[in-house]
Amino acid sequence: MTRAARVGGIALLALLAWQALVTAFALPRFILPGPGLVLETLWTSRALLAEHAFFTTIEVLLGLILGGILGFASAILLTASQLARFVLRPMLVFSQAVPVFALAPILTLWLGYGLWSKIAMALLIIYFPVTSAFFDALMRTPPEWLELSRVMNARPARILWHIRVPAALPGFASGLRLAAVYAPIGAIIGEWVGASRGLGYLMLLANGRAKIDLMFAALIVLAVLTLILHAAVDAACRRLLES
């Protein structure tokens, strides 16, 4: 069975279970609309959903790109400098002790209601996984490779870029795959706190007007976007590791 067939089968089972739940408990549409109504809303509101999905996608992509670059650079710095490890690693751990959700209002206050506060939220939520995964991989370079390079009098910079980094790319790829899933969370949280567009904003707007079918439609679009982003990042990582 192909992957597409498996995904389609799982989606069909989920829809059937959803409809069975609505029918069995006679749930009103303002509590849980049926899948038929949500699919109808997906079609009739496709232009509205596409408009808000576009802005959320931009926020997620920029946050992912910037977070990946910053995580890569931070891991390299931590590997190359003992002073950086002494100073930055406690700060990284401390950054995870503060809930990212609590920072959303502060970022909105500082950066406004536009794109940048949402990009910053996405960046913050993926920065630690990318940095941690890549740094751990850099520090797990096979010892015999490092010993051979020292015997050949290789400079530390050449050891880092020609041995450690290529050996650690699978770890960096794992961090990026996690980031592809986490980045939409940061963008949506930012939109919930303050925004005038985006899928998170649309979900709050629909909920406030008791349009639960539209809220579920926006949620489905967000889930599909996340799956597409994860698949694209996974394909890019596979291509990078095979090259």
Query: How is 86-100 classified by DSSP, letter by letter?
Result: HHHHHHHHHHHHS-H
Rounded (5°) CA angle 49-50-56: 90
Q: What is the pLDDT of residues 90-142, one digit of tens each?
A: 888 777 778 878 888 888 889 988 899 999 999 999 999 999 999 999 999 98
- Which of 136, 242, 225, 114 is closest to 180 using CA atoms? 225
Q: Are 34 and 18 in contact (CB under 8 A)?
A: yes
Question: Model confidence over 140-188: pLDDT tens digits?
Answer: 998 888 888 888 888 888 989 999 999 999 999 999 999 999 999 999 9
What pTM does this model have? 0.91
Handedness of CA 138, 144, 146, 149 (dihedral sign): negative
Do the beta carbons of residue 163 and residue 231 sit within 8 Å?
A: no
Closest alpha carbon to 191 in 125, 128, 126, 122: 122
CB of 176 within 8 A of CB of 131? no
Tell me, what's the pLDDT at 1? 57
Residue in the structure block whose two tokens are 């502060």: 106
Residue 84 pLDDT level (bands cut at 50, 70, 90):
confident
**Among the residues of the chain, which ranges form H helices?**
3-24, 35-44, 46-80, 82-97, 100-111, 115-139, 143-151, 156-159, 165-193, 199-208, 212-242
CB 212 within 8 A of CB 30: yes
Q: What percent of the chain has pLDDT over 70?
A: 99
CATH 1.20.272.10 fits 33-242, yes or no: no
Q: Say which range, 7-11, 37-41, 197-201, has the weakest mean pLDDT.
A: 7-11
Q: 12-51 pLDDT, tens per residue?
A: 898 899 999 999 988 888 889 999 999 999 999 999 999 9
